[in-house]
Chains A and B, each alone.
Chain A
Amino acid sequence: MLNTQNVLTILSMALVTYLTRVLGYWALRNRTLSARATTVLEAVPGCVLICVIAPAFTSPRPANLIALAVTILAATRLSILPTVAVGVGSAALLRHFMG
């Protein structure tokens, strides 16, 4: 598991993350961002998150798509642990009965 490439990737993640924490302090401490820059920066996390789960939306299995719809509905109403439970449970049931 611990080969050089994996270690390097984790180290570069750590470095980059720390960079985001320190850069804001260094670079932005004496100025205010334009409204436009703030809007774009605020959109970043949502765009990344939704892209990462995009493959779930392209699944060819109907059971997966229905389970995903159920999970989305759950996410709008419940907190994180119940949502995970609903998502996992619905996926297991639907796959069992629909294949």
Chain B
Amino acid sequence: MDSTLKKGGNRRDFLYLTASAMGAVSVGSAVWPLVDSMNPAADTLAMASTEVDISKVEVGQAITAVWRGAPVFIRHRTAEEITSVRGDGWQHLRDPQKDEDRVKKAEWLIVKGVCTHLGCIPLGTKPGQPRGDFGGWFCPCHGSHYDISGRIRKGPAPKNLLVPTYEFVTDTLVRIG
């Protein structure tokens, strides 16, 4: 009697367990398409890389490109600008990073033009705009100063301007993203 009761109990437990597991799998597989449909669609993903022609950007000049709906600053740096951000002292910066680690080609600085504080677009790309105390960019919203390597030097921003993934397709064409 006892053993048959126990057998019945085990079988029921087994059935409950397998049915619940199957139920969980079905609910998961029904919910996943709904959730995934909210992820970026194929056409949005297709806009994930932008190619920029930099042949017309003179030394000392900078342009703003658009990538994934946000600005990207491309600055053709002068030799003095490059030397000013290289050398020692980078270890004491708020977000310590060597300039060499932020560029592929020393004369081309490519950074996302979004202040790492609260997201405004820093000034300094167009001629005539203030470039802050360190010759790079100045964010007018809360006064963050970036140097000519896009690193935060003064003000409330916590991180350096983001360096996006990019590659030089040719010497005059860069693909961002």
Whether A associates with B in a native complex is no
